[in-house]
């Protein structure tokens, strides 16, 4: 399986919808910017210090804060949309694993808060967001799936899944858990997606494999794998993009 690592930055506004806008993705931290260092005086573990230092120096974290995005993950979706043109104003979107809400914010911006419909779901509570219906539940639970369908009031044009189980640090276990969540997301998607619709899901770095890949190829016209620049190089995540749902999975 080959991956595309997208270069380049946001190419500016594409949609003409009044409520849509496209912030540029941030430049990598340049040499002219002084890196922030934290003092070791506090009783923090070395791993916590490393995490904090990375957060304080991450241009995506800084830009997310400046633009009011709830997570740096928002830029992954912005970059994927800039590259693959996922959204159109007025679309119906489901966002699986939406908390704290960065992807949901981007989806609302790009389909239009009044024209489109965005339904987000997460195990955790997601703070209210204008233009989105936010639910709490486990996507593996049939009652959660029913609640999403009701909130959407019809079929989806796009199902997004940035779902991730808590990392164990054990590569093989994490791989299996991510793969299981992608299968859950696909099973749900195959029931709620419009013919012609799009499925975008976080996967493990090796991409979708085996029976699921064969099934995706059977029910979608086009399958791509990508790792957007905002996805940290050291992260084991990547994304699968399946377009042109044939329906009737």
Ligand X SMILES: C[S@@+](CC[C@H](N)C(=O)[O-])C[C@H]1O[C@@H](n2cnc3c(N)ncnc32)[C@H](O)[C@@H]1O
Residues marked active site are found at 202
**What's the sign of the alpha-carbon dihedral 122, 185, 157, 106?**
positive
The contact mask relative to ligand X for 4-43 (x = CB under 6 A, - = no) is ----------------------------------------
Segment 174-182 long-range contacts (CB within 8 Å, at least 24 positions apart): 174/204, 174/236, 175/204, 175/206, 175/236, 178/202, 178/203, 178/204, 178/237, 179/203, 179/204, 179/212, 181/97, 181/139, 182/208, 182/212, 182/240
* Cα–Cα dist 168/177, whole Å: 10
Considering only CA atoms, which of 31, 102, 116, 91 is closest in space to residue 61?
Answer: 102
Strand partners, 4: 226
Task: Give the shortest CB-211-to-ligand X separation in angstroms.
Answer: 20
- Considering only the stretches 10-18, 26-34, 117-125, 204-212, report the one whose residues sit in contact with ligand X under the rule CB under 6 A: 117-125
The contact mask relative to ligand X for 68-107 (x = CB under 6 A, - = no) is --xx-xx----------------------xxxxxxx----
Q: Site residues for ligand X, window 190-209 (CB under 6 A)?
A: none
Nearer to ligand X, 74 or 240 (CB): 74
Nearer to ligand X, 44 or 136 (CB): 136
Task: Give the shortest CB-162-to-ligand X separation in angstroms.
Answer: 3
User: Interface with ligand X by CB under 6 A: which residues?
Assistant: 70-71, 73-74, 97-103, 121-124, 138-140, 162-165, 181
């Amino acid at each position: 399986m080959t991956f595309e690592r997208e270069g380049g930055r946001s190419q500016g506004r594409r949609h003409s919808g009044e409520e849509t806008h496209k912030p540029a993705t941030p430049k990598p931290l340049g040499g002219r910017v002084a890196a922030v260092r934290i003092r070791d005086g506090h009783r923090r573990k070395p791993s916590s210090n490393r995490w904090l230092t990375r957060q304080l120096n991450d241009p995506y974290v800084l830009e997310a804060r400046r633009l009011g995005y709830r997570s740096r993950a928002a830029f992954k979706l912005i970059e994927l949309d800039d590259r693959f043109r996922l959204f159109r104003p007025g679309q119906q979107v489901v966002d699986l694993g939406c908390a704290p809400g960065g992807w949901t914010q981007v989806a609302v911006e790009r389909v239009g808060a009044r024209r489109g419909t965005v339904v987000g779901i997460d195990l955790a509570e997601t703070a209210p967001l204008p233009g989105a219906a936010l639910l709490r539940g486990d996507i593996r639970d049939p009652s959660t799936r029913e609640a999403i369908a009701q909130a959407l009031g019809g079929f989806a044009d796009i199902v997004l899944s940035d779902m991730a189980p808590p990392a164990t640090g054990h590569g093989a276990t994490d791989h299996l858990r991510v793969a299981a969540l992608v299968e859950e997301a696909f099973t749900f998607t195959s029931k709620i997606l419009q013919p012609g619709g799009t499925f975008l899901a976080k996967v493990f770095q090796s991409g979708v494999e085996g029976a699921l890949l064969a099934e995706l190829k059977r029910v979608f016209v086009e399958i791509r794998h990508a790792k957007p620049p905002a996805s940290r190089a050291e992260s084991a995540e990547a994304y699968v993009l399946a377009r042109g749902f044939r329906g009737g999975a």
